[in-house]
């Protein structure tokens, strides 16, 4: 019998990390290792090194990050670049020092240039200027990709390592941060519409013009894609990547305007008022649709219908609301 793989999921309490744990639990041949933030500060290099030195780990999923929407990115750029650089560098280097052979790093589609041709191919990386409102976060995520590539280039043959990266589109789902000030668009709108419904308000105001288009991926679909990519045979993975363009896009092809999205969330929540758009606030990029052909051609595809995903996310919001949850913390 082969021993169980010991898999560390960094960021297991967050939206993506918790979905990864749920996906990995389907396999009884793995042992899942987690650490809460209070027990392991991923910004502390010495603590991370000590964790890997004292804990036997075969694989690592890097789902820990400081995340947020446009407002948070604009308000806390130093925190976004510093914390994300520290988290991913400490994990990847600490794992390497401890002999971990396989890592999957989760990036973000904001790594691509603001005016990249749509749908965005993997090789669009570093071909143009980034969106200014989240440039610090994007630069940190680009550094994570290049860190994995650089370790593979220098140590792939000598140490047998295989570090991979996936670039998901906009992700939503249970255990998201429902903070109206700093969250991503879907959880922020869920909070706003529910609060307006509860307080019998006549309207909800949404940032921007409502015209930008965004693609959305349910967190459990992303988790299944991550496990799929991690478990691809090395030869197959290498056939579908380039030495200096090694990441793989993960998308859903579910694309809506922010206006259409707001209408859908209004319906799911049951709010009966009107929606106003504050055009004095930034829109961000006008469109961000990624091309996931490389991954779908390998046999993976999303399974969760968007309306069902929104409903499950709203149910999660209501459950956590009952439990007294309201996160002001954007580290996961």
Strands 287-288 and 248-250: unpaired
Question: What secondary structure letter does DSSP report for 160?
Answer: -
In 3D space, the residue among 148, 194, 190, 187 whose CA is nearest the CA of residue 171 turns out to be: 187
Can you point out the beta strands (E) in the chain? 5-10, 30-33, 59-62, 102-106, 162-168, 170-172, 203-207, 213-218, 248-250, 255-257, 274-278, 287-288
Q: How far is the C-alpha of 266 from the C-alpha of 269, rounded, in Å?
A: 5
Cα 11 to Cα 21, 37, 107: the distances in Å are 10, 8, 13
Please, which residues bridge with residue 8 across strands? 33, 60
* Catalytic option among 137, 151, 191, 218: 137
The verdict on whether 151 is a catalytic residue reads no
Task: List the Cα angle 79/100/172 in 5-degree steps.
Answer: 45
Residues annotated catalytic, as ranges: 137
């Amino acid at each position: 019998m082969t021993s169980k793989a010991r898999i560390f999921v960094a960021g297991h309490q967050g939206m993506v990390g918790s979905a990864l744990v749920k996906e990995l639990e389907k396999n009884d041949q793995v042992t899942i290792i987690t650490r809460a933030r209070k027990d392991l500060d991923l910004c502390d290099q010495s603590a991370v090194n000590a964790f890997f030195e004292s804990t036997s780990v075969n694989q690592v999923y890097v789902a820990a990050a400081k995340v947020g929407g446009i407002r948070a990115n604009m308000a806390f750029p130093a925190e976004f670049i510093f914390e994300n650089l520290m988290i991913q560098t400490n994990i990847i280097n600490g794992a390497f020092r401890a002999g971990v052979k396989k890592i999957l790093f989760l990036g973000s589609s904001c790594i691509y240039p603001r005016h990249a041709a749509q749908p965005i191919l993997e090789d669009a990386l570093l071909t143009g200027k980034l969106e200014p409102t989240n440039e610090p976060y994007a630069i940190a995520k680009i550094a994570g990709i290049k860190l994995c590539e650089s370790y593979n280039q220098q140590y792939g043959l000598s140490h047998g390592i295989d570090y991979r990266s996936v670039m998901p589109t906009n992700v939503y789902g249970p255990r998201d941060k429902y903070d109206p000030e700093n969250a991503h668009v879907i959880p922020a709108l869920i909070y706003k519409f529910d609060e307006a419904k509860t307080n019998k308000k006549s309207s909800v105001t949404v940032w921007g013009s409502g015209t930008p288009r965004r693609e959305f991926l349910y967190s459990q679909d992303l988790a299944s894609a991550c496990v799929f990519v991690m478990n691809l045979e090395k030869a197959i993975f290498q056939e579908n990547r380039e030495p200096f363009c090694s990441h793989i896009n993960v998308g859903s092809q579910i694309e809506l305007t922010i206006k259409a999205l707001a209408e859908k969330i209004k319906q799911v929540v049951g709010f009966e008022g009107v929606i106003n758009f504050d055009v004095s606030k930034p829109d961000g990029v006008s469109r961000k649709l990624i091309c996931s052909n490389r991954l779908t051609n390998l046999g993976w595809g999303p399974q969760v219908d968007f309306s069902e995903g929104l409903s499950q996310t709203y149910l999660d919001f209501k459950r956590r609301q009952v439990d007294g949850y309201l996160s002001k913390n954007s580290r996961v």
